[in-house]
């Protein structure tokens, strides 16, 4: 080996002279084992506007910048999960602003109350999108070129490759090359004869998986953006016997994407709640756990669609033309009859939904009677009641908490107020909470707030001749969430494709094999076999040894001059 200059394949010696021909040949053998673009260092003193633009584009489309942008996107989503968002719960945002005089204005300036539509989050999103496209397009063309091309010819010195073996045989070189070509093609290598050798390559699915992973990321980004821009989500509480039409005014609360048009994009359908049925575990450690939780509904699609029946269960929604109706909650609505001092009915057996407080459906809320009574001055006032309902009351002396979610021993506790409910003020107010700003308490004989516990059929007589309240019964209600998330199927397909592509790029090894067969000086055929992988891997030497053992059998007989040396030797290192 003396007198031979050795450098890394494809490199130039430190003195600036060209690399030896054999080293250039070896570098060509390992070329294009990947479609990753080559890093180029710009000549900074000669850069102009175009040069700087090209340099910026290379940086933006590099893998490290794409990973950095993906990390920034993940970090940017954290405040969107921890800080109240205006598009999700505007009331919590206002509450946060009221409690934090410093953080509130700061978060407003940084756009942290609407992270996913903020300028900085959109910039990261768009840059990542451009980076992935700029990375995929050139790599795709390179990969197509590799698929259309053929593996490069064998280097002059196969012994310098990482995996190498050789033996001598009495067969003719042409016979060996023909057997090698047949064997490699049988093992699903792309193989062809080049001069005195056979060149073969395998593992193209590695780059296909890499490209599929990047394309899948783009599909997921587009699907996520499309879903956020055109989605909608609303909630509706429905009493048994009542119905719902999918129009904006029917919702209790509603939120949608920035490009969603509720006047045109809402799916036309309607449904009615016929019956809610729930059963619960009666004994044991799981007492009170729901066993059956379903809502029987009738629905119709469009304005004049045929009526159909459907049972909606938890995680088994009603699906209508891309919209899904989920059953999300259940509760009770006490039925009350309110009469004034003259016995006139001002609220006739009207059910008022109360909101659950715990798993046993202890519920609270407000009962509002707009047509109230006339006070001592002859002024007409409205009535309001804080209501507390227990579907299963534990009995006298027990805590004011339900002991079971079913209606076993219902009890309603009311505390009474009179005055102005504020419902005619011209702005939205919660129907589940009394605004006591302009209300006064009814007082009992001890001067305390007038309140009473009622069982079904019992009546409460209000002080000062204000009238009576009768607890007539209980009606059940169910809450439904109507959602539409477009492109969710594309997002799922993209995620599956990303996982499969990533698995392919990680576990499939791209490698090349060369088999050279030539006559030696003594007239005996010398067979050399070498392999090269994209990265250091035990698979290439093992595979090469297996191929050599199989190839040796049909090309040798008992008169073979030498026994085969089928062990794999490492590549020669540079001289010291």
- Residue with the larger pLDDT of the pair 567 and 76: 76
Q: ∠ at Cα 63 (499, 75), nearest 5°?
A: 75
- Residue with the larger pLDDT of the pair 517 and 554: 517
- Residue with the larger pLDDT of the pair 376 and 285: 285
Q: What percentage of the chain reaches a pLDDT higher than 70?
A: 85
Q: Lowest mean pLDDT: which of 295-304, 375-384, 398-407?
A: 375-384
User: What confidence tens digit (pLDDT) does each residue in 488-501 have?
Assistant: 889 999 999 999 99
Contact residues for 541 (Cβ-Cβ < 8 A; gap 6+)? 162, 163, 531, 568
Do residues 482 and 343 touch, judged by C-beta distance below 8 A?
Answer: no
pLDDT at position 7 over 50: no
Q: Lowest mean pLDDT: which of 313-317, 323-327, 369-373, 526-530?
A: 369-373
pLDDT at position 44 over 70: no
What pLDDT, on the 0 to 100 scale, is given for residue 19?
Answer: 53
- Helix and strand element counts for the chain (H, E): 10, 23
The CA distance from 482 to 351, in Å, is: 24
Do residues 330 and 363 touch, judged by C-beta distance below 8 A?
Answer: no
What pLDDT, on the 0 to 100 scale, is given for residue 11?
Answer: 46
pLDDT at position 298 over 70: yes
The residue-averaged pLDDT of 467-493 equals 93
The residue-averaged pLDDT of 484-511 equals 90
User: What confidence tens digit (pLDDT) does each residue in 267-283 have?
Assistant: 899 999 999 999 999 99
What pLDDT, on the 0 to 100 scale, is given for residue 22?
Answer: 53
The residue-averaged pLDDT of 8-15 equals 46
The CA distance from 192 to 194, in Å, is: 6
Do residues 198 and 514 touch, judged by C-beta distance below 8 A?
Answer: yes
User: What confidence tens digit (pLDDT) does each residue in 121-170 have?
Assistant: 889 988 988 888 888 888 888 888 877 888 888 898 999 998 999 999 98
The CA distance from 460 to 39, in Å, is: 84
User: What confidence tens digit (pLDDT) does each residue in 215-253 have?
Assistant: 998 898 889 889 888 999 999 999 999 999 999 999 998
What pLDDT, on the 0 to 100 scale, is given for residue 561?
Answer: 47
Average pLDDT for the chain: 84
The residue-averaged pLDDT of 320-328 equals 93
What pLDDT, on the 0 to 100 scale, is given for residue 427?
Answer: 65
pLDDT at position 333 over 60: yes
pLDDT at position 90 over 70: yes
Q: Tell me the pLDDT band of 344, cut-offs 50, 70 and 90.
A: confident
H-assigned helices in 200-294? 205-230
The residue-averaged pLDDT of 514-523 equals 92
Do residues 323 and 302 touch, judged by C-beta distance below 8 A?
Answer: no
pLDDT at position 203 over 90: no
pLDDT at position 51 over 50: yes
pLDDT at position 14 over 50: no
pLDDT at position 455 over 90: yes
How far is Cα of residue 265 from the mean position of the Cα atoms in its chain?
24
The pTM of the full predicted model, rounded to 2 decimals, is 0.69
What pLDDT, on the 0 to 100 scale, is given for residue 567?
Answer: 45
The CA distance from 463 to 442, in Å, is: 7
Q: What percentage of the chain reaches a pLDDT higher than 90?
A: 43
pLDDT at position 334 over 50: yes
CATH architecture of the domain with residue range 152-201+509-569: 2-Layer Sandwich (3.30)
Strongest mean pLDDT among 177-181, 504-508, 570-574:
177-181
């Amino acid at each position: 080996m003396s007198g031979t200059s050795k450098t890394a394949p494809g490199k130039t010696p430190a003195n600036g002279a060209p690399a030896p021909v054999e080293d250039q040949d070896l570098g060509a053998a390992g070329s294009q084992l990947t479609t990753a673009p080559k890093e180029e260092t710009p000549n900074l003193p000669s850069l102009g506007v175009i040069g700087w633009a090209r340099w910026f584009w290379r940086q933006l489309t590099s893998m490290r910048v794409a990973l950095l942008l993906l990390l920034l996107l993940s970090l940017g989503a954290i405040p969107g999960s921890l800080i109240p968002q205006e598009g999700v719960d505007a009331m919590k945002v206002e509450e946060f602003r009221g409690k934090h005089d410093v953080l509130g204005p700061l978060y407003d300036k940084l756009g942290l109350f609407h992270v996913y539509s903020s300028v900085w989050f959109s910039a990261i999103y768009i840059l990542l999108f451009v980076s992935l496209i700029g990375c995929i397009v050139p790599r795709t063309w390179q990969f197509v070129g590799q698929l259309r091309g053929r593996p490069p010819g064998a280097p002059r010195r196969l012994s310098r490759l990482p995996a190498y073996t050789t033996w001598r045989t009495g067969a003719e070189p042409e016979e060996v090359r023909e057997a090698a070509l047949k064997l490699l093609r049988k093992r699903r290598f792309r193989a062809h004869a080049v001069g005195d050798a056979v060149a073969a390559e395998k593992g193209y699915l590695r780059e296909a998986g890499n490209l599929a992973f990047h394309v899948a990321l783009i599909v997921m980004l587009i699907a996520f953006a499309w879903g956020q821009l055109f989605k909608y989500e609303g909630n509706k509480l429905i009493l048994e016997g009542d119905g719902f039409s999918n129009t904006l005014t029917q919702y209790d609360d509603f939120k949608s994407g920035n490009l969603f048009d509720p006047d045109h994009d809402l799916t036309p359908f309607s449904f009615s709640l016929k019956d809610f049925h729930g059963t619960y575990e009666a004994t044991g450690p799981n007492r009170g756990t729901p066993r059956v939780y379903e809502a029987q509904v009738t629905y119709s699609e469009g304005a004049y669609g045929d009526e159909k029946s459907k049972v909606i269960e938890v995680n088994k929604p009603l699906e209508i033309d891309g919209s899904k109706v989920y059953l999300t909650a259940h509760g009770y609505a006490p039925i009350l009859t309110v009469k004034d001092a003259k016995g006139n009915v001002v609220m006739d057996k009207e059910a008022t939904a109360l909101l659950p407080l715990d798993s046993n459906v202890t519920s609270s809320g407000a009962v509002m009677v707009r047509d109230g009574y006339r006070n001592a001055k002859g002024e007409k006032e409205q009535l309001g009641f804080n209501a507390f309902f227990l579907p299963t009351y534990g009995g006298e002396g027990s805590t004011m908490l339900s002991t079971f979610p079913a209606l076993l021993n219902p009890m309603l506790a009311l505390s009474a107020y009179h005055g102005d409910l504020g419902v005619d003020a011209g702005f939205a107010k919660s129907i589940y909470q009394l605004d006591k700003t302009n209300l006064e308490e009814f007082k009992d004989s001890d001067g305390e707030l007038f309140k009473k516990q009622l069982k079904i059929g019992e009546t409460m007589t209000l002080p000062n001749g204000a009238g009576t309240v009768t607890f007539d019964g209980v009606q059940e209600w169910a809450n439904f969430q109507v959602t539409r998330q477009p492109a969710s199927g594309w997002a799922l397909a993209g995620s599956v494709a990303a996982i499969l592509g990533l698995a392919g790029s990680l576990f499939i090894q791209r490698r090349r094999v060369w088999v050279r067969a030539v006559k030696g000086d003594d007239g005996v055929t010398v067979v050399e076999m070498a392999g090269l992988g994209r990265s250091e891997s035990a698979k290439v030497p093992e595979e090469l040894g297996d191929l050599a053992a199989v190839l040796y059998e049909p090309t040798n007989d008992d008169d073979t001059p030498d026994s085969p040396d089928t062990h794999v030797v490492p590549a020669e290192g540079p001289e010291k």
